[in-house]
Structure 1
Amino acid sequence: MENDVIVVGGGIVGLTTATVLAERGLRVRVWSRDDVTATTSAVAGALWWPYRIGPEAEAGPWALASLRVYGELAADPERTGVRWVPGVHAGVDPERLGPWAREVPGLRRTAPEEVPEPYGAGLAARLPLIDMPVHLSWLRARFEAAGGVFERRTVTGFGEAAARARTVVNCAGTAARELVPDAGLRPVRGQLVLVENPGIEEWFVSADSGARETVYFFPQPGRLVLGGTAEEDDEGLVPDPATAEAIVARCARVRPEIAGARVLGHRVGLRPARAGGVRLEAVALPGGGRLVHHYGHGGAGVTVAWGCAERAADLAAA
């Protein structure tokens, strides 16, 4: 066969997995419906944090493995899109987080004056914040430099890929619901507003894992990203003006200067949430091939991308 592995899906999970495989010396091809900068991953606010992802026992180590990689990539932010940025996560008690939190350098409980009303307590940390359009383009270039091939292609089943590679890796995100099929996979709609940054240099988050409405802002180069929403089973990709207005208003209650910031654009993405958490397992294909399922990362695909990719690559290369 002309390929060792075909990865279906060109978002952050698929592209990172493909890069790990290619750098192990395998012949890897990515089949992606969209260009990397048009995927759901490109819409992500992309602060490293284990948000809306399970199972917890695996997600924590995957996130920490990715944190180590992003820490290295932050040495060259202009090229990789990864920067260390300080900020506050309101309403979170560090003692109630998983064991992974003890390994995050500098994570600490906030002083009262560090968290605005009405949020009260929280935690402060310096975390990787990723400019996703830049990062995805850089990651594709790294994949191709390792000999990988990126191909725009709509996939309607795994049979065609299995005929051209001994291993297929399913990183199709929300599309896996129909491809597998998997009725436990459901979209969680996230809407963002991009505004001119009025001088904010730190991120802020207040996002309960079960809340439909969240509050966060992330200072990215050339813009401030405001969010957001977590609307389960809503597949609408058109930005809603009333939702956008509410997002700006919630963020402006934390930082009033946001209210007057000029709007630059709107973004909508569908997080691939799955009952039971990430599916990461290998199954046999007819004819002796292997299909590795690697989807269902919810709101933390960026956060766990490198840790998950190493495990998926182990399964694919077995």
Structure 2
Amino acid sequence: MTSNAEGLDVRVVGGGVIGLTSAIALAEDGHRVRVLSRDPAGGTTSAVAGGLCWPYRIQPYERAVAWSVRSFQVLTELAERPAETGARMVTGMMTATTDGAEDGLAAWYDAVPGLRRARAEELPEGCASGWRARTPLVDMPTHLHYLEQRLAAAGGTVERREVTSLEEAGAAADVVVNCSGLGARALVPDPDVHPVQGQLVVVENPGIEEWSVSADAGASDTTYLLPQPYGLVLGGTARENAWSREPDPAVAAAIVARAARRFPELARARVLAHKVGLRPARPAVRLTAERLSGGLPCVHNYGHGGGGVTVAWGCADEVLRMVREVEEGRGPVRG
């Protein structure tokens, strides 16, 4: 094994936001990092994400909130350079048709500066509760490019190739970090990993400056509006175990109709793009360390569902901690 003074030789499987942030944390800590990814960052599920920093469809809540708070801090700093990083601070409102006071996110609410309960007159029709906050909103194509550039600046590299097994991926390395997302279903294999399909529509923005999300727990249809530099992102859906990446015209029409109930001018907005992404869901995020069959240390970091952007930097911190334990001869430790 490589000496501590030189850092470890690390292979990171997966080139989406989870893989890239994990790779950056490791490379900036002095490890020699190579990301292995079949697809370019712009071709991953991360590129389709709406980019709002807010815990969504991710378990366990207690850990997810802690990861989210860390990512909020990082993204807030990156928002000082929006053209470069793709992160901006944008005010908006998270609402629900029921009172969401006991939804497990109390620590998140406590951590977000200036967050407050929405007043009754601020709530859209049909919503019973809501929170107003100024949070990071990330332009994902720009952000992914920034992450690739930051990784390269830290000495990390990206190799485009299919990974057939974790053992093969880490054959010449000291440790492998598995950030394969939906691919973990076959790669680990882990049958608990499954897609939650999300469809969205990008339209010309008629002047909407705030984000707005209404997403009840477990609902298959949501309503959100996210103003991005490239257009207004309208959503969305959350269809469990739906594998298709083809936009459904009827679903797209329903998405626009829901948005137009709040902003009637959106019914006439020019459509710029239709997108479908498959969120890599799991009953709970797997962020653990183990030894593979041949003895190679492996850190798993997958199953983030719809919260990848929100928890990425917090999870990257834990990946770094686990790899340091490997380096010091104390890991891996199952968790």
TM-score scaled by length of structure 1? 0.97
Of the three residues 293, 296, 314, the one matched with 2:303 is 296
Give the corresponding residue for 1:134: 142
Match of 1:43 among 24, 44, 48: 48
Residue 285 of structure 1 pairs with residue 292 of structure 2 = yes
Matches within 5 A, 1:77-226: 77-91=82-96, 93=99, 95-96=101-102, 97-226=105-234
State the alpha-carbon separation in 2 of the partners of residues 116 and 163 from structure 1: 55
CA distance in 2, matches of 1:95, 1:245: 32
* Counterpart in the other structure of 2:314: 307
Matched position secondary structure for 2:288: strand
Q: Compute the displacement of 1:103 (Å).
A: 1.2
Query: Residue 55 in 1 paired to residue 60 in 2?
Result: yes
> CA offsets, 1:248-273, max 9 Å, x none?
00111111111110000111111111
Do 2:247 and 2:274's aligned partners in 1 also have CA atoms closer than 8 Å?
A: yes
Instruction: Check whether the contact 1:56–1:98 (CA below 8 A) recurs between aligned residues.
Output: no
Alpha-carbon offset, residue 88 of structure 1: 1.1
- Runs of 4+ residues deviating >3 angstroms: 92-95
Structure 2 residue identity aligned to 1:191: Q
User: 2:262 matched to which residue of 1?
Assistant: 254
- Aligned equivalents of 1:193, 1:77: Cα separation in 2: 23
Q: What is the DSSP-based 3-state SS (H/G/I as helix, E as strand, rest coil) of the residue aligned with 1:176?
A: helix
Partners of 2:72 and 2:100 in 1: how far apart?
A: 18
Match of 1:273 among 274, 277, 281: 281
TM-score by length of 2: 0.92
Q: Which residue of 1 aligns with 2:22?
A: 17
CA distance in 2, matches of 1:286, 1:182: 15
| Alpha-carbon distance between aligned partners in 2 of 1:295 and 1:120, rounded to the nearest angstrom | 33
Give ranges in structure 1 of 5+ residues lacking alignment.
Answer: none
CA distance in 1, matches of 2:193, 2:293: 24
* CA–CA separation in structure 2 for the residues paired with 1:218 and 1:285: 41
Instruction: State the distance in 2 between where 1:285 and 1:216 align.
Output: 41
Residue 113 of structure 1 deviates from its aligned partner by: 1.8
